[in-house]
Structure 1
């Protein structure tokens, strides 16, 4: 009797467009929707930028300043395309507010207060150092406040296979609230030469978007030009143009009773664009810092980069863990049953990865001071790297502990 052969396993091929009934193929867009892939692409783009800036800095700067219409490539990445990233964040936030972890404030209180602590403590650490040390500059107080949601979730996805699912919800809530804070800071602290008429135009576009959503007129050929017009009005008003993305995302319709609503459809479509093109291009155009010995030394000796480094690596841990503990200690809010305080500690380390928004805030905070921009960016890159490594180690250990407990 012939021995029965085991079933053959095939590796799925990545193609640009995959037919829905082909089980051996997967579309590129589906790959880009994976959180780990987006984080890896962002990291690769950042590494390419650093190498490019240090090996051929002249060509790197020339490419960054290629003019395309009213802006150069660097500003298109930071002021234009990054609005898509914030639009996706706004869509995700809207879903969480309507049907997710932010729907019940009592359930979300611990991560919300933890996020607030994770913004306030790093900012205070930065201000304390820069006000106390000679040569300090208080303008960068908001740089270490931000958490990069894409990187944070990518790290959790890579090393957190055995961690409880509620821990991901905790991190997601933490990162989303953190993004709200960063967006508010960008809108308020870095708005100069406000043009009220242009701002009124942006509000009019947002109102039109809301009315279209209320009337369920989900025509892409109407929404895309409206998005661009709202972005341009916001850009011309003096408010950072990425705010248009999160505002329109929050005004998009979603409902637990409505299947495949606009939030679901548009996030499904735009997430691969954000993860596969927008954020990597921003990293490529923003992360290119010259890593000279003097620059590395400045990170540990000058108050601006030192405040950013300590704020990201230590301030986030103190703020997130302390905020969560105080909330659980003095209110009726509590952690999910399958989450322990060591898990929260690991998540607080992940929150120190402040890549995308931190780089953006560094450019805004030190506009007109190229040397400080370079120092701040170097500190963001090194601080985020240290936080990512420490978080990977901590969360892997927690994953093993949960696996042993489950076994």
Structure 2
């Protein structure tokens, strides 16, 4: 009996697609704010008022007794980005517990693509900086993907990327964030103090105990989270690692014992609903404002920066390394699993998506500061390299994806069509789809049942 070959980028379930679509709309707005913050900083740093920008960025605030007398730029990198990584940790755990990543077959592609999209840029950067004086320390800079920036680019070029590709891009970026925070913790911890690191386990454990009991009082949780952040910061490990650890303690699903006859959503959804707007609307744009302000020094200064092997490695890593790494990993998955691309897609779509993966901004700038020191000459070259590589990747992605927009529009129209008016697009109910991809309408899915419960259960209200 003939079997249907597995499909890469096959359409998922309607509940997952609708959740991802809502999440990406919020990330797109955040990406626009991120670009605005970076542009304001870049323009300000290249005007006669540049000393005012530098003075603001270098203003020191905070209690020295706790070793928290930090500049505003450092507060943005260590403090505000902790909010960003907390949300990323929540989303990562949600994907592995209740999303597509819980299925190893579905997780294989984005995980492989994320690994390839980090390994190849790192190798490209290392090859270019092999003989560079202290340049190798920045090998991880071109490995990051900025999902908010990438979605903002998609909004600017107005392309109707299919739901499967958008879901893949988000999932790849989530796994990318996990790998990035692991790299930061392992390779960019210059000195380690075990006493505060062990002490951090106390407030972390208390925080985890309370959220498992569905305690959501901010006056209990915020002090514990801050104490964990302070102690991890004091240990020498980058403080954003604390945010990911805190996020991993938050339950995604509520146990049947706590929620009645059937499981419902845990606190992860509640926290993400509350904190994501702060991350996308405040934390990341403010970090971009304090990190992207590099004085170019005219054409000569720009040329000097771009001829530095560090900047060259970043640009080539982001533009070429990411495209080769993500596309190559996808091809290898296809080759070894004998899976075929979904019938609506072609390999140029994968290449365009891989180029979008080369838009590395937020985490790339953070790693650059950790590698070379904030405000150092090499850090300034890092900023130029990241901005240039991100811009080139965005332009090339637009050049590949935009001509396919008419085809994408037809897919989007098919994915939105609901002739029977049951609230689930017809394409998600077609018998030709795989069993895991079809919705059993009009029965409620788990996510839809959870949504209904939240409308009626006061304990689940935001």
TM-score by length of 1: 0.87
- Equivalences for residues 112-261 of structure 1 within 5 A: 112-132=111-131, 135=133, 137-159=135-157, 162-255=160-253, 258-261=263-266
Contact 2:229 2:239 (8 Å CA) reproduced: yes
Contact 1:298 1:305 (8 Å CA) reproduced: no
Partner of 1:95: 94
Structure-2 separation of matches of 1:336 and 1:109: 16
- Return the offset for 1:81: 1.5
Q: Which moved more, 1:343-352 or 1:323-332?
A: 323-332
Structure-2 separation of matches of 1:335 and 1:201: 49
* Residues 227 and 113 of structure 1: CA distance in aligned 2, closer, same or farther (over 3 Å): same
- Return the offset for 1:66: 1.3
Contact 1:89 1:246 (8 Å CA) reproduced: yes
1:19-66 per-position Cα deviation (integer Å, ceiling 9, x unaligned): xxxxxxxxxxx9997222111111011011011111122111110111
1:40 to 15, 20, 32: 32
Partner of 1:276: 281
Partner of 1:50: 42
- Equivalences for residues 233-382 of structure 1 within 5 A: 233-255=231-253, 258-292=263-297, 293-332=299-338, 335-336=341-342, 338-367=344-373, 370-382=376-388
Structure-2 separation of matches of 1:227 and 1:334: 45
- Return the offset for 1:394: 2.3
Partner of 1:22: none
TM-score by length of 2: 0.77
Secondary structure of the structure 1 residue equivalent to 2:304: helix
Secondary structure of the structure 2 residue equivalent to 1:344: helix
Contact 1:283 1:356 (8 Å CA) reproduced: yes
Structure-2 separation of matches of 1:232 and 1:336: 47
Unaligned runs of at least 5 residues, structure 2: 1-21, 63-68, 255-261, 415-462
* Residues 217 and 183 of structure 1: CA distance in aligned 2, closer, same or farther (over 3 Å): same
- Return the offset for 1:339: 4.0
Aligned length: 377
Structure-2 separation of matches of 1:31 and 1:168: 11
Structure-1 separation of matches of 2:382 and 2:106: 36
Contact 2:203 2:224 (8 Å CA) reproduced: yes
Q: CA RMSD in A?
A: 2.2
1:60 to 53, 60, 65: 53
* Residues 337 and 172 of structure 1: CA distance in aligned 2, closer, same or farther (over 3 Å): farther
Partner of 2:107: 108
Structure-2 separation of matches of 1:300 and 1:62: 26
* Residues 340 and 31 of structure 1: CA distance in aligned 2, closer, same or farther (over 3 Å): closer
Contact 2:159 2:408 (8 Å CA) reproduced: no
* Residues 54 and 348 of structure 1: CA distance in aligned 2, closer, same or farther (over 3 Å): same
- Return the offset for 1:261: 2.9
Structure-2 separation of matches of 1:186 and 1:386: 26
Contact 2:122 2:143 (8 Å CA) reproduced: yes
* Residues 251 and 31 of structure 1: CA distance in aligned 2, closer, same or farther (over 3 Å): closer
Structure-2 separation of matches of 1:220 and 1:268: 14
- Return the offset for 1:155: 2.9
* Residues 32 and 116 of structure 1: CA distance in aligned 2, closer, same or farther (over 3 Å): closer
Structure-1 separation of matches of 2:242 and 2:115: 23
Structure-2 separation of matches of 1:303 and 1:198: 38
Structure-2 separation of matches of 1:97 and 1:157: 28
1:185-222 per-position Cα deviation (integer Å, ceiling 9, x unaligned): 11011112211011112222222222223323233221
1:236-288 per-position Cα deviation (integer Å, ceiling 9, x unaligned): 01000011111111221112865453111111111111111111110111100
Q: Which moved more, 1:333-342 or 1:353-362?
A: 333-342
* Residues 95 and 338 of structure 1: CA distance in aligned 2, closer, same or farther (over 3 Å): farther
Unaligned runs of at least 5 residues, structure 1: 1-29
Structure-2 separation of matches of 1:51 and 1:164: 35
